[in-house]
Amino acid sequence: MKYDLLITGGLLIDPSQGINDQRDIAVSGGKVAAIEKNISAEEAKEVFDALGKIVTPGLVDIHTHIYRLVSYLGADPDLNCLAKGVTTVVDAGSSGALNFPGFRKYIVEACQTRIFEFLHVSDVGLTMGGGIGELEDLRHLDFERTVKVARENRGVIVGIKIRVPQDIVGQHGPQCLRLAKEISRTTGLPLMVHPGALPPNLSLIDVLGVLEKGDIMTHIYPPPYPPLLPRSSIFNENGRLLPEIQKARDRGVLFDVGHGMNNFCWDTAEEALKQGFMPTTISSDLTAASVNSVVQDLPTILSKFLHVGISLYDVIKYSTIAPSQILGKENEIGTLKVGAEADITVFKLEEGEFPLWDNIRPVKEQRVVKQLLKPVKVVKGGSVIQSS
Ligand SMILES: [Zn+2]
Residues above pLDDT 70, as percent of the chain: 99
Chain centroid, CA 96 distance in Å: 19
pLDDT at residue 226, rounded to an integer: 77
- Find the mean pLDDT for residues 6-17: 98
User: Which of 115, 93, 80, 90 has its CA nearest to residue 299?
Assistant: 80
Beta strands 216-218 and 383-387: pairing type? unpaired
Residue 241 CA, ligand 1 centroid: distance in Å: 23
Whether the CB-CB separation of 185 and 86 falls below 8 Å is answered with no
User: Which of 281, 272, 334 has its CA nearest to residue 309?
Assistant: 272
Whether the CB-CB separation of 345 and 377 falls below 8 Å is answered with yes
Residue 119 Cα distances to 145, 149, 280, angstroms: 11, 9, 21
Q: How confident is the model at residue 231 (pLDDT cuts 50, 70, 90)?
A: confident
pLDDT for 68 beyond 70: yes
Of the listed ranges 64-78, 152-166, 216-230, the one predicted with least confidence? 216-230
Provide the total of helices (H) and of strands (E) in the chain, helices listed first.
11, 15
pLDDT at residue 325, rounded to an integer: 98
Q: Is 366 exposed, middle or buried (0-12, 13-18, 19+ CB in 10 A)?
A: exposed
pLDDT at residue 253, rounded to an integer: 98
pLDDT at residue 114, rounded to an integer: 98
pLDDT at residue 230, rounded to an integer: 80
pLDDT for 360 beyond 80: no
- Find the mean pLDDT for residues 41-48: 97
Residue 281 CA, ligand 1 centroid: distance in Å: 14
Residue 337 CA, ligand 1 centroid: distance in Å: 30
Mean pLDDT (the chain, rounded): 96
Residues 6+ apart with CB under 8 A from 89: 60, 61, 62, 64, 66, 77, 81, 113, 114, 115, 116
Residue 194 CA, ligand 1 centroid: distance in Å: 7
Residue 285 CA, ligand 1 centroid: distance in Å: 5
**Whole-prediction pTM:** 0.97
pLDDT at residue 364, rounded to an integer: 85
Residues above pLDDT 90, as percent of the chain: 93
Residue 260 CA, ligand 1 centroid: distance in Å: 7
pLDDT for 197 beyond 80: yes
Residue 63 CA, ligand 1 centroid: distance in Å: 6
- Find the mean pLDDT for residues 377-381: 98
- Find the mean pLDDT for residues 254-278: 96
Supply the DSSP symbol for 106: I
pLDDT (tens digit, 9 = 90+) per residue, 97-156? 999 999 999 999 999 999 999 999 999 999 998 899 999 999 999 999 999 999 999 999
Burial 325-359 (b: 16+ CB within 10 A, else e): bbbebbebbbbbbeebbbbbbbbbeeeeebebebb
Q: How confident is the model at residue 227 (pLDDT cuts 50, 70, 90)?
A: confident
3-state helix, strand, coil in the chain (%, to 5): 25, 30, 40
pLDDT at residue 327, rounded to an integer: 97
Whether the CB-CB separation of 63 and 42 falls below 8 Å is answered with no
Q: How confident is the model at residue 388 (pLDDT cuts 50, 70, 90)?
A: low
**What are the residues whose beta carbon lies below 5 Å from ligand 1 (ion)?**
92, 285
Residue 331 CA, ligand 1 centroid: distance in Å: 27
Q: Which domains does the chain have, with CATH numbers?
A: 3-56+339-348+372-387 (2.30.40.10), 58-326 (3.20.20.140)
Q: How confident is the model at residue 387 (pLDDT cuts 50, 70, 90)?
A: low
